[in-house]
Chain A
Amino acid sequence: MSAAYDPIALGIQWDRLIAIADEIINALVRTSFSTNVRESYDLSCVVFDRKGRSIAQGAYSVPSFTGTAPATLACMLAKFPAETLQPGDVVATNDPWMGTGHLFDVNVMQPVFRRGALVGYTMSITHLPDIGGAGFSATAREVYEEGLRLPIIKLARAGVVDEAWIELVRINVRVPEQTIGDLMANVSCTTVGARMLVEFMDEYGIDDLTPLADAILGHSERAIRDELRRIPAGIYDNAIDIEGHADPLRLACRITIADGEAHADFAGSSLAVPAAINVPLCYTRAMTCHAIKCLTTPKIPNNEGSVRPITAVAPAGSILNPQPPSPTGGRHIVGHFVNPLVYGALARALPDRVQGDSGMLNLINVQGRTREGVGVSSIFFTSGGFGALRGIDGQATTPAPSNMTGTPIEVWENLTGMFVESKELLPDSGGPGEFRGGLGQRIALINDSGQPMTVSCLAGRTEFAPAGVLGGRPGGMRKIAINGSPVHPKGRYVLQPGDRIDTIEAGGGGYGDPRQRKREAVEADLRQGFVTPDAARRDYGYRG
């Protein structure tokens, strides 16, 4: 079917659609009020065709969101069928099971009309600064404690915003100005996207995006199927232990590769827990697609075609497919382990592609007031080390598998009145290997606001270190302490004035046997202080 599309026009128009998605992100970031969006790019923007198929996404966005967006749109259209939509309608939800897996992300969609006909949809998703309830933490036992849950709603009808919904959100959140500001930034950026999509169709005289979408999805699907066929057909199993809220959890997967398709079954994983780290299936599926795409076709732009040959299932009620009212606020803490779980399963089949485990993100969520009395609800994004790959040492302090941006110290102190005493690399935290894992870091934050602040971390890697791959060794573990005493990494605490929280962010896992590491590489690490002399001797057999 895609053969019918002019091959030269296809490339040009495809890139143009991606540019439109990027433009939507620009508009979103520039009008947003919260650090989550503007500094950390905790967002995504997607363009869909008339049939609800995702055809382009912005380059700077969180991978999980683009994986969930098509399913979210399908839920929205089930409630508000396409034929009932009018220009200027805005549909939104933050339901964990229909959206991105937790209440914090709002999904905002607008239908796009051209000459009176529905031609496509634009959607943007952002992590709101607050949604009420327990705050951004893993402590809730049921979803009801986690905050305001919006079903699929019409936020605006024919261009008129329904103020009742705005009021409802305003009264339920701690920082209403920022939250409403961000909500409306989503509305205006999807409007911008709709306008650009129409201009694009006008320019090329396209009345129906379907043939173009067919061609884009067809090319993408063919590319990933070709790559999947290069993996020897077979069944690939893996299981890893990770920390849970109370007891360790087991994540298991069986990946079946056959006929250019990949099917992941997460049977054997632990049951859902009464803590907000359960991963709705939409998120599990999104991370599975992301992991397999990283290993096979990283350069194919993300769209529905590029994930079509990938399927994922998990038993209902398991931690990777929990049912309401299981709480899900910190679903990424467990969900991000889907990537290393999949990489581990495929390590022997794809030794050139797989990566040692990464140290992953830590999200330090802080609520309180500044010395000047301004309300604060902000997240300090920070990252552990990136896992090593064949030929490449892991980059220090680089997020994986999700993407964020670290918060600058000067910005954070201005915003919260907290004092950052230090933020430095942790030598020897990178997992030894022929290629070394990326270093983690050590951060010290002090409550200097003169009043109590609530702090909750959302992180893993405190009981099970990031594993190495193909002979590589594990990276250093994460540790969190308040006033010198270790605390649970998913807890919620009050910092009194002058109290301090110290975190150690995990290092990345190594790749290959450390004894095979080149002598010059070990010496360069010693000179820079990334590896200490003791560790060089112990891990690399370096004798000076």
Chain B
Amino acid sequence: MTRAQRYRIGVDIGGTFTDFALFDDATGDITTHKLLTTPGDPSTAVIAGVSAVTAEAGIAIADVATIVHGTTLVTNAVIERRGAPTAMLVTKGFRDTLDIGMERRYDLFDLRIRFPEPLVPRHLRFEVPERVKYDGSVKAAPSFDQLRMPLAEAIARDRIAAVAVCFLHSYLDPSHERAAVAWLTREFPQLKVSASSEVFPFMREFERWTTTCMNAYVQPVVDRYVARLEDGLAALGFKGSFLIMTSSGGTFTGGLARRFPVRLLESGPAAGALMSARHGRTLGVDQVLSFDMGGTTAKGCIVHDGTPLKRYELEVARVHEFKRGSGLPVKIPVLDMIEIGAGGGSLADVDERGVLRVGPRSAGANPGPACYGQGGTQATLTDANLVLGYLDSGSFLGGRMALDAEAARRAIESGVGKALGVSVERAAWGIHEVINEDVARAFRVHASERGVDYRRCSMIAFGGSGPLHAARVARKLKIPRVVCPTGAGVMSAFGLLSSPVGFELVRSRRVSLARLDAQQILREFTGLAAEADRFLAEAGVKAVDVAHRHRLDMRYEGQGYEVEVPVVGPLDATIRERLPHAFAQAYAKVFGLAFDDKPVEIVNWKVDASGPEPGARHDHRLKAGPPSASSRKGTRRAYFPERDGPVDCPVLDRYALEPGATVAGPALVEERESTTVVDPGDTMRVDAHLNLILELGAAS
């Protein structure tokens, strides 16, 4: 192994800290570093940290083969509306599609609901006389020259930096959009251009165009960001490949990221799910429920056979009470994660019905929970966990922040306890339990919609609040085992570094199966694969190293929702005969039954191309710290309902636990960023990788 292939760095940019993990593939050692995130320009911390972590490991930056990072840049740019002024070219007659929207209210009774403003304002949308029909035939060819003047004026007046090209039925025939891109590139070479047939060639104009506008809107921002990072790293002497995590769990080169920045949405959380997938593989578990709970939200993802499930829609920047339907709908391949408005900062109060409600509103970092003593007076989940004894006033965040238990009690008493007529402890337990129930309910719905039996999963829990709630949530789902992996920041980097460069193409082309023969199916797939391969080639992946996964969205003719059918087995003349059975199986898995007599059609065609899995080994370990005298830190009173109140409970130091150690609940295991709660009746052991494994006892 040459030195130049030996080192890889994962960078996880979190809200507070940016974590760096340097992996040595020759020795299996990991070196870590932590810096405060630089929110104004995240690349500053990245460059500083890469420099620091290589110095700490005693290696030259030139010896690093790969740097991978996840970023919330795109999500934040959309939420905070910090993208570039963007124009849109759109099929004549459909300039207002973005304002007209879904023509749906997302709440039946709330007259005061709000909707997000389109990313491209109406006066920056320009109509193009052109039309492709639903069957792919051309009704009118496009012409652009009449747009030269108005567009030039808008560029001068509104400082337009990007254009989205959005024509009807372009998923069938992209030629008109391509002509527009060519014209724009010729006439206005300074503009970034995104075409809907390239960004995501999916039927349904509102969602496709919103996605395309978002791509254009963040393109200049991402372009600058990538340039700063690439230049900064090059100046340090970095010569390897610089990659960015995408929302679907593959990685992009800087070039792909600049071209399809919308696919970087949710790139941060994706790393956590990938880490769970990696752990699932290491632990030999075929179904994993990844549970990540932090300060404001919890995220869940089902990992099946080592691969997180995917989907193709996402809602960004909700504007009304976090409600589904109040955001911008985006179509891109994403890891199929659910987000739940439940985290340490979730606010607890009594709602309009007179029952306890926790979240989705959050106290955020400022003022934060009442116990932070920063002026927060409303009770939060963290306040409840402090009152219950799960958290400790003195050891929160490794003792860096003292918590005010009295303030927590006061907030719970005045905000919840009095209104419901229950004691502070009972109210605190209620807050804790409402969150457990919310998370379990969300997982239950999520799993059953996907035909997954969650009872067979193992849970992998992480994030500041994950290990604190994991056992209770798992118990509600009848999940027998919970794994709390060591060092969340490092593990996220693990996820980043285990994911290959990849590009997925999805195209809508509705065809009745009866009208297709094997050759036509193969031709469609080959065309898509060739297109995806071109992107990978641009990213430097060799053709021989590219693997393809083929899938189809199929349905009974006349149905509105498709079922994703994996195409397994050889791509050859037998494919046509294999499809009906493959569809029936996939359909029955979701809906419990299938019809043999109804005609079937294909709606979307998907090819996922990916490069080789990076890295030579996956058994890296943190270098051992100095041995500690005892793992027992002391005891604390903690509330467990099965013991009818607070009991004395041992507190353990996670960093002092040796592999093989076992503990019977109740017990609390503290680490810097989190506490693992071991409930009465459960047992915990430490495995060879220093993961904590909770085996849940009979329901208590």
Contacts and interface: CB of A to CB of B under 8 A. Distances in A.
Interface of A: 7-8, 10-12, 14-16, 19, 22-23, 26-27, 29-35, 37-39, 41, 59-63, 177-178, 181, 188, 203, 219-220, 222-223, 290, 293-294, 297-302, 353, 355, 371, 381-383, 389, 391-392, 395-400, 403-406, 408-411, 413-414, 417, 419-425, 439, 441, 444, 448, 527-530
A178 B558 contact: yes
Given A7-B355, A411-B204, A425-B96, A406 B104 contact: yes
Contacts of B420: 7-8
Most buried by A among B103, B556, B591: B103
A41 B107 CA distance: 13
Given A302-B109, A408-B206, A425-B96, 13 more contacts: A8-B426, A12-B434, A33-B558, A39-B560, A293-B109, A297-B352, A298-B107, A371-B135, A398-B103, A406-B102, A527-B123, A528-B123, A530-B122
Contacts of B204: 408, 410-411
20 contacts: A7-B355, A7-B356, A12-B433, A14-B353, A14-B355, A15-B437, A15-B441, A222-B354, A301-B353, A302-B108, A396-B101, A397-B101, A406-B102, A408-B203, A409-B168, A410-B169, A414-B203, A419-B139, A441-B100, A444-B93
A439 B561 CA distance: 31
A413 B134 contact: yes
B242 to A, nearest CB: 38
B559 A400 contact: no
A8 B433 contact: yes
B353 A31 contact: no
Interface stretch (B111-119, B180-188, B368-376, B632-640): B111-119
DSSP majority for the A interface? mixed
Most buried by A among B101, B123, B354, B449: B354
Most buried by A among B111, B356, B430: B111
A47 B499 CA distance: 45
B422 A299 contact: no
B590 A30 contact: yes
Contacts of A298: 107, 109-112
A300 B111 CA distance: 13
Interface in B73-120: 92-97, 99-115
A319 B420 CA distance: 47
A400 B103 contact: no
Contacts of B122: 425, 528-530
Contacts of B355: 7, 10-11, 14, 219
B448 interface: yes
B351 A395 contact: no
A50 B621 CA distance: 58
B421 interface: yes
A35 B560 contact: yes
B133 A223 contact: no
A16 B133 contact: no
Nearest to B204: A408
B417 to A, nearest CB: 11
Nearest to A372: B135
Given A26-B449, A30-B561, A422-B93, A299 B430 contact: no
B93 to A, nearest CB: 3
A23 B422 CA distance: 32
A423 B100 contact: yes
A8 B356 contact: yes
Interface in B389-444: 420-422, 426, 429-430, 433-434, 437-438, 441
A382 to B, nearest CB: 6
B481 interface: no
Contacts of B352: 223, 297, 299-300
Given A12-B434, A527-B123, A219 B353 contact: yes
B109 A181 contact: no
B205 interface: yes
A29 B561 contact: yes
B104 A403 contact: yes
A414 B114 contact: no
A399 B108 CA distance: 10
Contacts of A410: 134, 168-169, 203-205
Given A33-B559, A302-B108, A421-B93, A392 B354 contact: no
A110 B228 CA distance: 62
B510 interface: yes
Contacts of B623: none
Contacts of A355: 111
A397 B97 contact: no
A439 B205 CA distance: 20
Contacts of A389: 111-112
Contacts of A419: 133, 139
A177 B105 CA distance: 30
Contacts of A19: 441, 445
B560 to A, nearest CB: 3
A290 B109 contact: yes
Contacts of A422: 92-94
B104 A404 contact: yes
A403 B105 contact: yes
A391 to B, nearest CB: 8
Contacts of A448: 133
Nearest to A383: B103
B454 to A, nearest CB: 13
